[in-house]
Amino acid sequence: MQLRRHILTLPLACAALWALLVVGCTAPPTTSTPPSTHVSPTAASFSPTDTAWIQLMIPMEERAQRLIDLAPARKASPRLVALAAKIEPLLRSDLQSLQRLLRASGVPDTRPHEGHDMPGMVSLTTLKDAASATSKRFDRIFVNALHDHLTHVGMLSSNEQAHGRASAATQLAANLANASTRQLGWLDDARPARASAPDSSVTTQ
C-alpha cells in the first residue's frame, strides 16, 4: 500500500535514533537516589535503554492523543472519526502504563524531549496545521501523521523488547509493538481514498 512506501528506509533511521536515545538528548540521571541509599530491586532493574524508551514513548503518545482528539471537531471523514474514538482509550491506557513504569524506574520526570520533534512524533507544526484544517485536508494530515507515529512506535518498541532489561518495560514494549501493527491495519481500512496519496505540503516531522 502507498502509505508503507518508506518502510524499507526506517530500520537504519530507527537504529540511529535508538543510539541517540540511550545517550539522551540531555543527560537525565538514571536514578534520583544517591549511591549510598538503598535502591529497590524494581528501580534497579531498569537500564538506561528502558528509561530512554519510556521517556520518548510518553511524549510520543501524548502528541498522538492531541492529534486524535482533533478528529471530530475538524470534520474528519466518519471512518477516521470512528477510528479516533477506537484508538483514544487504548492510547490513554498505554500512557498510564508508561507513566507507572517511569515512576517505578525511580527516574525523575525531567521531560528530556519536551518541545522536541523526534522521528515519528507528531510535530508541533503538524498539530498546528491539523487544528486549522478541515475535511479533506485534515484527513491527509491525520492519516500521514498517525501512520508515521504508529510505524515508529512499533519499531522503537521492538528495539526495547530486544535490548531492554526490565521485564515490565519489555512486556509493555511487546504489547505496544503488537498494538501498533494492529492499529496500522485499522488505519489502512479507515483511510479515505482521497487521503491515500501523500500531501507534499503536510509536514509530519
Kindly report the average pLDDT of the chain as a whole number: 80
Distance of CA 1 to the CA centre of its chain: 22
Contact assessment for residue 51 and residue 30, using Cβ atoms and an 8 Å cutoff:
yes
Q: Distance of CA 58 to CAs 74, 96, 115, 165, Å?
A: 25, 9, 13, 19
What's the pLDDT at 30? Answer: 38
Q: Span 113-126, mean pLDDT?
A: 81
* Comparison of pLDDT for 139 and 119, the residue scoring more: 139
Contact assessment for residue 162 and residue 51, using Cβ atoms and an 8 Å cutoff:
no
- Enumerate residues 6+ apart whose C-beta is below 8 A from 81: 71, 72
What's the pLDDT at 68? Answer: 96
**Cell output for 198:** 501523500
**Cell output for 175:** 504489547
Contact assessment for residue 156 and residue 58, using Cβ atoms and an 8 Å cutoff:
no
Claim: this prediction has a pTM higher than 0.85? no
**Cell output for 46:** 531498569
Q: Is 50's pLDDT higher than 90?
A: yes
Degrees, nearest 5: CA angle 1-176-17: 75
* Comparison of pLDDT for 195 and 32, the residue scoring more: 195
